[in-house]
Amino acid sequence: MKVRLKNGTEKHFRTVWMKGNSVYMINQPLLPHQFKIFKCKTYPGTIAAIKDMTVRGAGAIGATAGYAMAQAAIESLACRDETKALAYMLKAREEIRSARPTAQNLFYAVDRVFKAIAGEKNGIKAMAKAAVKEAMQTADDDANACRKIGEFGMEILEGRKNVLTHCNAGWLAFVDYGSALSPVYAAKAAGKDIVVYSDETRPRLQGANLTAWELFNEGIEHYVIPDNAAAAFMREGKIDVVIVGADRIAANGDTANKIGTYEKALCAKANGIPFYVAAPTSTIDVKCRTGKDIPIEYRSEDEVHWVSGVTESGKRTKVRVTPEGSKALNPAFDVTPEDLILGIITEKGIIYNSHGLSLGRML
């Protein structure tokens, strides 16, 4: 999607890409105040970028993990011996898979690239070449899937103008286009008048920092609202539809997304507002029967205690907002039961929830 640069020009960027042996990504913690590209030269560096959320969002994490696996395959060339090279790549696969536990796209991409490696029988160089090719294809598939999500998702915006979203599920969360925001971008391109209400999404403020930045760059009217204001806006009739993303979807349709999503689904149900999840089918984990089987990542309590931003003079700083002696709990995700979800928008179409969601048939 497009980014307005300081010199006044606009340029198209993907969230993450690979060139040579290095992985490049938009440095998301610096947004919206500073736009920079972050370079990872080795697969451990790319893992670190996933862990510290230099890159974040289901599809973007997946593509980055696929690239990390490709980097490991390239680095394994130094082993010379094929047995040692495979051992190196197996070790890398497990390290990459352990980077973050909830996002299904990470496991999907790593396993897809490793399968391409294992299927190559013509030596280490051929394995590395196959890994890079598959990682590139995985990223392309993610972008194409999100574009189709936008095309199918426009259907739910017919007669609806005001969209609430939670966290960031725009193009920064995927390789391009995004999931929850993809229908918004498609509708805007088709000339529809759309207004987006973006939950700030504490503690990391992805809605305030990332979603708002995306919408600003795309020229879409939007309002950042406090996390605890959504219910009031729903009751006042200011919200027509809720669209959120997903980090993992169980086989029965239960969905893990950024903490606070379950709360928004309950509020939507109470106010008779349709609640949709948008995600590519790579986010569906058919081995995970229900939401109870989805591992929920707990992150550092420092993310709750401290808030980052810029001063009036433009200096980046961090301030503590809690008492020194207080403890904090910081679950990164929660699970929304399938009975609160009206439908799931995928690149294969919209799965409407009439008598329970059953997702195996979509794969």
Taken in order 64, 341, 350, 188, the sign of the CA dihedral is negative
Query: What are the structural domains, with CATH classification, of the chain?
Result: 2-147 (1.20.120.420), 151-362 (3.40.50.10470)
> Is pLDDT of 355 > 60?
no
Q: Which pLDDT tens digit goes with each residue over 180-231? A: 999 999 999 999 999 999 999 999 999 999 999 999 999 999 999 999 999 9
Percent of the chain scored above 70 by pLDDT?
Answer: 97
Percent of the chain scored above 90 by pLDDT?
Answer: 92
Respond yes or no: is residue 247 known to be catalytic: yes
What contacts 213, CB < 8 A, 6 or more positions away?
A: 31, 32, 172
Closest to 173 measured CA to CA, from 64, 331, 298, 308: 64
Q: In terms of pLDDT, which residue wins out, 269 or 2?
A: 269
Token pair listed for 91: 């070790």
Helix 124-153 to helix 58-75 angle (10° resolution) is 170
Q: Can you tell me the mean pLDDT for 70-80?
A: 95
Q: Mean pLDDT of all residues in the chain?
A: 95
Closest to 16 measured CA to CA, from 45, 44, 56, 51: 56
- pLDDT the model gives residue 19: 97
For residue 74, how far is the Cα from the chain centroid? 26
- pLDDT the model gives residue 264: 98
- pLDDT the model gives residue 27: 98
Within the chain, where are the H helices?
43-51, 58-75, 82-97, 104-118, 124-153, 182-189, 206, 212-217, 230-235, 261-270, 302-305
> Is pLDDT of 359 > 70?
no
> Is pLDDT of 9 > 90?
no
Token pair listed for 168: 């960031």
- pLDDT the model gives residue 118: 93
Which range has the worst mean pLDDT, 56-60, 192-196, 321-325, 355-359?
355-359
- Residue 6 — pLDDT band, cuts 50, 70, 90? confident
**Longest pairwise C-alpha distance within the chain:** 67
- Residue from 176, 227, 247, 334 carrying the catalytic annotation: 247
Q: Can you tell me the mean pLDDT for 245-264?
A: 97
Asked whether the beta carbons of 258 and 333 are under 8 A apart, the reply is yes
> Is pLDDT of 363 > 60?
no
Q: Which pLDDT tens digit goes with each residue over 21-46? A: 999 999 999 999 999 999 999 999 99
Residue 228: what residue type? N
Q: What is the CA radius of gyration of the chain?
A: 20
Asked whether the beta carbons of 102 and 333 are under 8 A apart, the reply is yes
> Is pLDDT of 362 > 60?
no
- pLDDT the model gives residue 270: 98
What contacts 202, CB < 8 A, 6 or more positions away?
A: 227, 260
Residue 122: what residue type? N
**Cis? peptide before 337, omega within 30° of 0:** no
In this prediction the pTM is 0.94
Q: Which pLDDT tens digit goes with each residue over 82-101? A: 999 999 999 999 999 999 99
Residue 2: strand, helix, or coil:
strand
Backbone φ and ψ of 307, nearest 5°:
-125, 135
What is the spatial distance between Cα 158 and Cα 69, in angstroms, rounded to a whole number? 41
Q: Which pLDDT tens digit goes with each residue over 143-175? A: 999 999 999 999 999 999 999 999 999 999 999
